[in-house]
Amino acid sequence: MYRLKATVLTFILLGHTVYSDSTRSLAREPRMLKSRNSTYFGEINISNFPECAYTNCITSDQLSPSRLGCVEPELTTDCLCSKAPTPLSCSPEGPSDQDNCWASLEDWFAGECNGSVALIDSSTMPECIQDCVFNFLKNEGCATQTRNCFCILPRNPIVQAATSCYAANCTKKKASSFSPAEWHDNICNLGETPAYDQSGYDSYVTMVHRVRLSMAILVGLISIVLTVIGIGLLWDDDEDDNAGGVACIVIAIALVLLIIVPVYTAL
Ligand SMILES: *[C@@H]1O[C@H](CO)[C@@H](O)[C@H](O)[C@H]1NC(C)=O
Ligand SMILES: *[C@@H]1O[C@H](CO)[C@@H](O)[C@H](O)[C@H]1NC(C)=O
Ligand SMILES: *[C@@H]1O[C@H](CO)[C@@H](O)[C@H](O)[C@H]1NC(C)=O
Ligand SMILES: *[C@@H]1O[C@H](CO)[C@@H](O)[C@H](O)[C@H]1NC(C)=O
């Protein structure tokens, strides 16, 4: 008898616990739904959100402010459009993929942010790599040079591309203050990168131009004079002068090879 009562009591208690849990979770639902009805996610109008990314981005909560690295309780335009380095990382397809979901998502993003989307600022890199880097990004599917697209591409190929752009088009032996890896990580982890100080590079390039020009003129003139003297001596009938003539011409050629060539290849 006692046992039966106890069992019934236990059932009632358990039932009550389960019941109050379910009422509590029912009570929580409407509050969640309020800020994410089918039109809005926080401040953001998602009625035109691309279907292909809806599950990945909206249903899965990947666009919540905390996932994007913002502190506001609800998603704001400022967070989505300006602060978050990779707001579209929830995309099921990357920029390099053939599928156009990425493109739809970026179009939606650009429209929703109305032109206030963070771009890769060309002033963050040396002038001599800008065209090359932007061409690389374009080939990878980032036609609009948004930070969002940039940061979603795999890191190493970008760093390698910037490094080889530098090697291909920038003056060689400048002890560079530009670090492609640091540049990439500042943009994608901190959201901003200080402008590259072009002045040091520019004055180096100017110095190289001056050295090249002045050495070419100086050594060129000396070599021409030596060659003329050498030819004069060779033309002379005096056999003894032939050795001197050859020596003059050899010295002229040596000067060009030993001074002009290094000045052009090593700097
Ligand atoms: C959805 O939420 C927004 C703002 O949070 C509100 O203005 C709008 O009326 C809501 N729409 C519906 C259908 O509840
Ligand atoms: C949300 O965006 C859609 C499509 O751009 C638009 O038709 C609708 O009016 C917007 N809703 C609000 C409340 O602005
Ligand atoms: C978009 O921005 C432009 C100017 O930057 C402004 O004139 C326009 O009203 C904005 N449109 C929307 C829908 O916010
Ligand atoms: C190479 O550098 C020059 C001068 O800075 C620049 O005008 C040019 O666009 C660069 N080329 C590439 C491919 O980056």
DSSP 2-29: HHHHHHHHHHHHHHHHHHHHHHHHHHHH
What does the alpha-carbon distance between residue 151 and residue 249 come to, in Å, rounded to a whole number?
A: 59
Within-domain flag for 80: yes
Q: Which residue's CA is the nearest one to ligand 4's atom 13?
A: 132
Which of 29-38, 206-215, 222-231 is modeled with the greatest confidence?
222-231
Within-domain flag for 21: no
pLDDT in tens, 244-264: 889 999 999 999 899 888 887
What does the alpha-carbon distance between residue 87 and residue 94 come to, in Å, rounded to a whole number?
A: 13
Ligand 3 pocket, 114 CB below 6 A? yes
Cα(142) to ligand 4 centroid in Å equals: 20
Pocket test for ligand 2, best of 35, 39, 46 (most atoms within 8 A of CB): 39
| Domain's final residue, options 137, 164, 190 | 190
Structure tokens at 260: 């002009």
Pocket test for ligand 2, best of 43, 45, 107 (most atoms within 8 A of CB): 45
Within-domain flag for 40: yes
Is pLDDT above 70 for 233?
yes
pLDDT of residue 34: 40
Q: Which residue's CA is the nearest one to ligand 1's atom 9?
A: 39
Query: How many other C-beta atoms are found inside a 10 Å radius of the C-beta of residue 138?
Result: 12
Ligand 3 pocket, 30 CB below 6 A? no
| 8 A C-beta contact, residue 149 and residue 92 | no
Which residue is associated with the tokens 């929580």? Answer: 28
4-27 as b/e, with b when 16 or more CB fall inside 10 Å? eeeeeeeeeeeeeeeeeeeeeeee
What does the alpha-carbon distance between residue 141 and residue 136 come to, in Å, rounded to a whole number?
A: 9
Within-domain flag for 247: yes
Is pLDDT above 70 for 224?
yes
Element holding 35 (H helix, E strand):
helix 2-35
Within-domain flag for 78: yes
| Domain's final residue, options 138, 165, 190 | 190
What is the number of domains present in the chain? 3
Cα(40) to ligand 3 centroid in Å equals: 19
Identify the residue with better confidence: 189 or 150: 150
Is pLDDT above 70 for 24?
no
Lowest-pLDDT choice from 20-24, 130-134, 175-179, 258-262: 20-24
pLDDT in tens, 166-184: 988 887 656 567 899 999 9
238: amino acid identity, one letter: D
Element holding 45 (H helix, E strand):
strand 44-45
Q: Which residue's CA is the nearest one to ligand 1's atom 12?
A: 37
Can you tell me which atom of ligand 4 is nearest the CA of 126? 5
What does the alpha-carbon distance between residue 42 and residue 46 come to, in Å, rounded to a whole number?
A: 9
| 8 A C-beta contact, residue 121 and residue 193 | yes
Predicted model pTM = 0.62
Cα(178) to ligand 1 centroid in Å equals: 48
Within-domain flag for 50: yes
| 8 A C-beta contact, residue 115 and residue 108 | no
77: amino acid identity, one letter: T
User: Strand 40-41 relative to strand 44-45: parallel, antiparallel, unpaired?
Assistant: antiparallel
Ligand 3 pocket, 77 CB below 6 A? no
Ligand 2 pocket, 47 CB below 6 A? yes
Q: Across-strand partners of 40?
A: 45
Within-domain flag for 13: no
9: amino acid identity, one letter: L
Which residues lie below 8 Å from residue 91, measured CB to CB, with a gap of 6+? 53, 56, 57, 101, 102, 105, 152
Which residues span the domain enclosing 80?
29-84+106-112
Structure tokens at 41: 């996610």
Within-domain flag for 221: yes
Cα(206) to ligand 3 centroid in Å equals: 44
Asked if residue 33 and residue 79 are part of one domain, the reply reads yes
pLDDT of residue 116: 78
pLDDT in tens, 182-212: 999 999 887 777 788 878 778 888 888 898 8
